[in-house]
Structure 1
Amino acid sequence: MREILNRYTLGGLTAVYRREGDVVELLLVPAGSEGSIARADCAAEPLIQAKLTEDDAPAFFSGGRTMRNSPTVKAMRYTGQTAQKSADKTVVVTKLTDPRGLAYTHTLTLYADNPAAEVVTSVENTGSEAHTLEMLSSFTLGSLSPFSAGLAPVTLKIHRLRSTWSAEGRLVTEAAEDLQLEPSWKCYSANSVRFGSVGSFPVRGFVPFCAVEDTAHGVTWAAATTQGSSWQMELYRQDRGLSLSGGLADREFGAWCKTLAPGACFTAPKAVLTAVRGGVDTAAQVLAENTRRAIEPLLPASEKTLPVLFNEFCSTWGKPTEETILRHVRALKGKNLGFYVIDAGWYDDDAFEAAAKLGRWELSRRAFPHGLKYVVDAIHNAGMKAGIWFEFEMAGRDEPDCFTKTDWLLTRDGRPITAGDRRFWDMRKPEVQEYLAHRVIDFLRSNGIDYMKVDYNETIGLGCDGAESLGEGLYEQILASQQFSARLSAGALCIGRASALPQLLGACLYGQLFRCARVRRDSHHCRQYAPHDPAAPEPDLGGGQGGAAAAKAVLPNLQRAFGAALLFRRAGRPLGSAVDCYGRRHGILRQGGLHHRPRRQPAVWFPHRQLPRTQGLAGSRAAR
């Protein structure tokens, strides 16, 4: 018999915990609708889905399709639940244990200002033997729709966002039955649609987002994951109820395993969930607002005014020079622009697409005979702040000292991961971080740069060596890249010279979303990420050894520090701080002077259709 364990309501969202034996499930419903919950004719969905390598695989034709509902889940036992309530949030902590010494914690946070819930799942090994996870969910939701009973045919719509380079965020809506998410006549086969992205492009193929709409009752559930490495979501149905879960891509989907030694703990990436009255547009807006609340306190003052940013890429196509920049600056002076950004190619004499001179980050003296500071001063004198492009995680073939520095590069099966003319720095190695601190941070400081545009033009793929599994290696690599981004911010603040380093971090991932949210600006992080000392010796490209221990030590804190940065593309106050205006392609720079297009209202990225201004979006000074 299924019983109500607890109910919690805040911010327009109600969390209902139901218990059936040792299984505790979570239902999220719009506040005030909990009395209409009707479904009890399906298996209760466990709060946490997990799979240990030592346990049998799940049955029901699951192999290669899903790792859900394995014996690992059946071994979990409910031990208790606590709640801490305040005016602005409610935090619900549910504990589960496994007789082998594994302690699971499910933490749900409700907020007063938005009907979104954040979920964090962790597992600690309190026993005396090591255990290896090959799947751990960030979140699960089950018994969908809780307002129906029976099969309720043709009432559930599945909304997903397809995505590829230069065509991101395409909304696809399908009936559950069209995805074969309906039970067999015997309710035996485990029907699952497992989708996601493998590699370091988190929005390739799909955006980490899914929504389930109950058209009969006018309610939509939506979820988003937050990590920048391989991820997955699963729609699962074996009986009358539909389940939705997601998190890190598991062993079958993303080659992920994680070994927990005695005393070790692992926390899955945070997920954001909601249940709203209305459709996918309303649900997506709630998730976007949750991200906005987390990100806005970390953003610089320029976010309040949204100055227009001019990017010169489409007027030089990767060959900026002192001459072209000065010509632009003369044309742009007095036009009320906030930033001028020097894009890719400032370090090379060939066009960006034809070269791979990445890694040393030395200015082209042919293109800039008077040095970079000379043109930066001209930009400042014209009343704009100066920005510059970096792709600091890459080593290019045209920089052989970097490209062949195998001790510092990511490997797979012992060989450097090579994608075209690019290889990847192993950001987990302290000597790599020190080298990039000298090459990037010193460069920014010495040239008076105000803004940094971070690019990322290749994907690592399945994963990398250096951890228990390729997938875990990839996850550590992304967190270590975020550590370096945090160091950029900490360096500007901790040394008390806010003008010494860029105050803004832009992001252009060539069709991929920003993978590295900015770290929180507080004294704790200033201590944790010590500012770069320009007087310290630069690590030698000719030698040196290192490991991932230093990066691993800060991974849990980084995971908490970097929130859901994947939910914005454009919004009333977007993540990227300023609006890119790409030269001739967007009709901004024309022969004979500037061409101004009419301003348009910004669009919310989730979903791609524009929402009306009445839904709470502030106006933008975006020039398109």
Structure 2
Amino acid sequence: MGAKSTTAPVTDEAVEVVLGALVVRLVISDDAPVRLLSIVPAGRPIAADDVAAPRPRVTPLVELSLAGESHVRHSHDVRHRNYAASHRLRYVDHRVDASELVVRQRDPETGALVTSRLRSITPDSVSATTRIENGGGTDLTVEYLSSLVLSGFAEVVAADIFERLRVHDARMSWTGEYRWSDRSLTDVGIVDVGIPHATSSSRTSHSVGASGSWSTSTHLPQGALEDRETGLIWAWQIEHNGPWYAELDDVGRDAAIALSGPTYRQHHWAETLAPGEVFESVPASVAVVHGTLDTALAAVTRHRRSIRRSTSVGLPIIANDYMNCLMGDPSTEKLLPIIEAAAAVGAQYFVIDAGWYADDNGWWSTVGAWTESQVRFPGGLSEVLDRIRSLGMTPGLWLEPEVMGVDSDALAELPDEAFFHRSGRRVAEQGRYHLDFRHPAVRRRMDDLVDRLVSDYGVGYLKLDYNINVGEGTDVGPSGIGTGSLGAGLLGHDRAYVAWLDGIRERHPRLLLENCASGGMRADPAQLAATHLQSTSDQEDPVLNAAIAVAAPSAMPPEQAGVWSYPQPHYSDDLNDFTMAQSTLSRVHLGGRVDLLDPRQRDRVRSALAVHAGLAEFMPVAEPFWPLGLPGWSDEHLALGLRSESRQVVAVFRRGGSETIELPLEGRARDARVLFPTDRAVQLEPTPSGVRVTIPADPGSCIFEVVSRD
């Protein structure tokens, strides 16, 4: 369909726009804001009652709050709804082409021009942003701007909506990542307050979000709302590497989800626009499908692959000296035997983690110069890196580019305005100052560092860590002049940092970039789109880590999920198999003391890595699924599957409970064969609904491939 534009004002006219396999349904009027009816798969008829329904039931396309004013009703309402500026917006025009819907509205009182852009990414998903331009003659300060507001979840007025709609979101914590829940509206605090009007609501909400600079320290910036009656699921995500906010409200006998980046109320964010200036929200997206939560997460996986800017580099096996190994205390003497052992079991990259730049372990507050320690490496760091290359592996190094220690020798290399400030003081967090990547001196210095590591040392991998949460942000801009809100400073830095990552990839297309923030504390779609791999956790217990490893592909494509496996000489064969199996269906981060394993133990590690290598072409096109559901933290039985049109591979873990596990699997009758470990007493038995797996060991594991029978 070619581009078309409509500008004539109308009264309550329904507009349907097809984007991929989805239909966006709007109501445009001459005396009200543009309102969103729903985003649903194509083919679902629009109900006349949806257009004629009382207007408060239908959600505005945009929620906008300006400084000096707030809500137009319900003064005690703490939700991001019913803002005065939102209600003043009036339709200007809309434009549609084959993959994009653009809707413009204007606030006649302030002159603000608000543009909503919904773009088809995959057949099942759309990405949305909102842009505001100050078209008036005085400054405007924006305190809230939605990226995407979703509604139309209950297409009929239903008395059971509070149980019928299911809310899915995921809690995060350090070493306890990706913990999903499945709750009703009542479970999350939204109840039927007994007022009979269809437009009534409890004026409460269920919200999730992140504060400060760790975008995923408390929740994943994603979730889903499932209608158990129609089988429709809306899976959303906010594509930002800093503060964000998602709010689920009841709206009459329906619900609405407002997605945004930072807000004034939650994050000390406000953006002041002079006449003619513009601001654009962070992106948000939604995938809409019929099916189960697995179906929705598969659609989100396809969307994430489509927006990823990092190019595919295969699935090289990565060894790293940190986890349950040297733990930030490397040296030539300690590293060489580990490097030899990693190469012997099949590693293709070897990464020297934290500590390579400091003479002793007290380096936390001195980081920032990023020059090698002569004490740790008396023959030079190049001696170790050359040994890595001589064994056929690519060397890598750890960096924490956004911080500089308060005792660093490099502090004088940057001007004061290159650091985060609050109320006239440089922000110190856990012995580190935070660099502002909006400042050209910061970017230039870090570009020079990366270029030097690649050219002088031949580094082909950078683990980019981030171990502090700097809080609300900075109120000083790169010029050294105060720039208003703390949140605006943090947002500017976050966007500049992602742009810096894009520049690294452009200059060094063969350099692998791993995103890490004390494990998974910044595992958001913006960072994932700009890097090749994501560290999933810092969890050191292999039994606990199984829940993290199984759930991680819900937050990222499996080929980006860097999962630690750390075999140890004192582990049993079953426990070593258990830890190795956790990374086989994701990306191997091989830790542990592989140098101390005996020949038989090394053979077991080697066989697990061989299975992983055999998935190199399959994994980047496969979609994750969870035969036993997304794991609970203490579940005794866990399972993760990957499937494509031609192949299905499943990893099963036992952490107690029965040794027999029934796995429901879709499709025709099938056989199954064990891929790893092949010498244990694991049994597979096809059943009419799936496969029965028997794992005698506790903890124990099994990776098997499903083979369909004609």
**TM-score when scaled to structure 1?**
0.82
Which range moves more in the overlay, 140-149 or 156-165?
A: 140-149
Deviations, residues 253-283 of structure 1 (Å, cap 9, x unaligned): 1111011111111110111112211232222
TM-superposed deviation, 1:406: 4.3
Check whether the contact 1:486–1:518 (CA below 8 A) recurs between aligned residues. no
Deviations, residues 71-104 of structure 1 (Å, cap 9, x unaligned): 111110012211111xxxx211111111121111
Asked which structure has the greater CA Rg, the reply is 2
TM-superposed deviation, 1:66: 1.9
One-letter amino acid of the counterpart of residue 613, structure 1: L
Compared CA separation, residues 459 and 382, structure 1 to 2 (3 A)? same
Say which SS state the counterpart of residue 464 (structure 2) adopts.
strand
Q: Which residue of 1 aligns with 2:480?
A: none
- What are structure 1's unaligned runs of at least 5 residues? 493-497, 522-565
Compared CA separation, residues 617 and 271, structure 1 to 2 (3 A)? farther
Mapped to 2, the partners of 1:47 and 1:299 lie a distance apart of 34
Mapped to 1, the partners of 2:381 and 2:648 lie a distance apart of 35
Compared CA separation, residues 43 and 185, structure 1 to 2 (3 A)? same
Alignment of 1:367-446 (within 5 A): 367-399=376-408, 401-402=410-411, 406-446=416-456
Alignment of 1:91-110 (within 5 A): 91-99=100-108, 100-110=110-120
One-letter amino acid of the counterpart of residue 514, structure 2: G
Q: Which residue of 2 aligns with 1:364?
A: 373
Check whether the contact 2:515–2:531 (CA below 8 A) recurs between aligned residues. no
Q: Which residue of 1 aligns with 2:41?
A: 30
Mapped to 2, the partners of 1:248 and 1:388 lie a distance apart of 32
Q: Which residue of 2 aligns with 1:527?
A: none
Q: Which residue of 2 aligns with 1:340?
A: 350
One-letter amino acid of the counterpart of residue 42, structure 2: A
TM-superposed deviation, 1:518: 5.8
TM-superposed deviation, 1:608: 4.5
Alignment of 1:82-481 (within 5 A): 82-85=95-98, 90-99=99-108, 100-111=110-121, 113-149=122-158, 152-182=161-191, 184-186=193-195, 187=200, 189-295=202-308, 298-300=310-312, 302-303=313-314, 306-314=315-323, 315-351=325-361, 355-399=364-408, 401-402=410-411, 406-466=416-476, 467-481=483-497
TM-align CA RMSD? 3.2
Which range moves more in the overlay, 215-224 or 278-287?
A: 278-287
Check whether the contact 2:368–2:409 (CA below 8 A) recurs between aligned residues. no
Say which SS state the counterpart of residue 121 (structure 1) adopts.
strand
TM-superposed deviation, 1:348: 1.4
Mapped to 2, the partners of 1:418 and 1:520 lie a distance apart of 27
Check whether the contact 2:304–2:556 (CA below 8 A) recurs between aligned residues. no
Check whether the contact 1:572–1:617 (CA below 8 A) recurs between aligned residues. no
Residue 46 (structure 1) aligned with residue 60 (structure 2): yes
Q: Which residue of 1 aligns with 2:598?
A: 592
Q: Which residue of 2 aligns with 1:534?
A: none
Mapped to 1, the partners of 2:648 and 2:375 lie a distance apart of 43
Check whether the contact 2:117–2:128 (CA below 8 A) recurs between aligned residues. yes
Which range moves more in the overlay, 437-446 or 128-137?
A: 437-446
One-letter amino acid of the counterpart of residue 346, structure 1: W
Check whether the contact 1:25–1:142 (CA below 8 A) recurs between aligned residues. no
TM-superposed deviation, 1:604: 4.2
Say which SS state the counterpart of residue 365 (structure 2) adopts.
coil
Which range moves more in the overlay, 131-140 or 388-397?
A: 388-397
Which range moves more in the overlay, 396-405 or 366-375?
A: 396-405
Mapped to 2, the partners of 1:413 and 1:108 lie a distance apart of 38
Say which SS state the counterpart of residue 154 (structure 1) adopts.
helix
TM-superposed deviation, 1:215: 1.1
One-letter amino acid of the counterpart of residue 61, structure 2: L
Deviations, residues 198-223 of structure 1 (Å, cap 9, x unaligned): 01111111111121111122111121
TM-superposed deviation, 1:418: 1.8
- What are structure 2's unaligned runs of at least 5 residues? 1-9, 477-482, 533-551, 564-585, 632-638, 652-675, 677-700, 702-710
Compared CA separation, residues 382 and 460, structure 1 to 2 (3 A)? same
**TM-score when scaled to structure 2?**
0.72
Q: Which residue of 2 aligns with 1:505?
A: 513
TM-superposed deviation, 1:437: 2.7
Which range moves more in the overlay, 70-79 or 185-194?
A: 185-194
Mapped to 2, the partners of 1:372 and 1:411 lie a distance apart of 35
| Residue identity (%) | 25
Check whether the contact 2:498–2:527 (CA below 8 A) recurs between aligned residues. yes
Say which SS state the counterpart of residue 209 (structure 2) adopts.
strand
Check whether the contact 1:61–1:189 (CA below 8 A) recurs between aligned residues. no
Deviations, residues 340-377 of structure 1 (Å, cap 9, x unaligned): 1111110113337x733311111000111122222212
Check whether the contact 1:137–1:246 (CA below 8 A) recurs between aligned residues. yes
TM-superposed deviation, 1:317: 1.2
Mapped to 1, the partners of 2:326 and 2:137 lie a distance apart of 62
Check whether the contact 1:224–1:272 (CA below 8 A) recurs between aligned residues. yes
TM-superposed deviation, 1:22: 2.3
Mapped to 2, the partners of 1:621 and 1:506 lie a distance apart of 26
Mapped to 1, the partners of 2:474 and 2:102 lie a distance apart of 34
Check whether the contact 2:342–2:594 (CA below 8 A) recurs between aligned residues. no
TM-superposed deviation, 1:248: 1.3
Mapped to 2, the partners of 1:273 and 1:605 lie a distance apart of 19
Deviations, residues 25-56 of structure 1 (Å, cap 9, x unaligned): 23111222235786546521010001001323
Mapped to 2, the partners of 1:569 and 1:223 lie a distance apart of 12
TM-superposed deviation, 1:18: 2.6
Mapped to 1, the partners of 2:241 and 2:332 lie a distance apart of 36
Which range moves more in the overlay, 363-372 or 592-601?
A: 592-601
Mapped to 2, the partners of 1:520 and 1:206 lie a distance apart of 21
Q: Which residue of 1 aligns with 2:642?
A: 613
One-letter amino acid of the counterpart of residue 102, structure 1: A
Say which SS state the counterpart of residue 169 (structure 2) adopts.
strand
Mapped to 2, the partners of 1:200 and 1:418 lie a distance apart of 14
Mapped to 2, the partners of 1:617 and 1:22 lie a distance apart of 51
Deviations, residues 493-512 of structure 1 (Å, cap 9, x unaligned): xxxxx6xxx62111222222
Higher relative CO (CA 8 A, sep ≥ 6), structure 1 or 2? 1
Which range moves more in the overlay, 36-45 or 260-269?
A: 36-45
Q: Which residue of 2 aligns with 1:18?
A: 27
TM-superposed deviation, 1:470: 0.9
TM-superposed deviation, 1:473: 0.8
TM-superposed deviation, 1:181: 1.9
Compared CA separation, residues 617 and 503, structure 1 to 2 (3 A)? farther
Mapped to 2, the partners of 1:246 and 1:333 lie a distance apart of 46
TM-superposed deviation, 1:520: 11
Check whether the contact 1:333–1:383 (CA below 8 A) recurs between aligned residues. yes
Q: Which residue of 2 aligns with 1:573?
A: 559
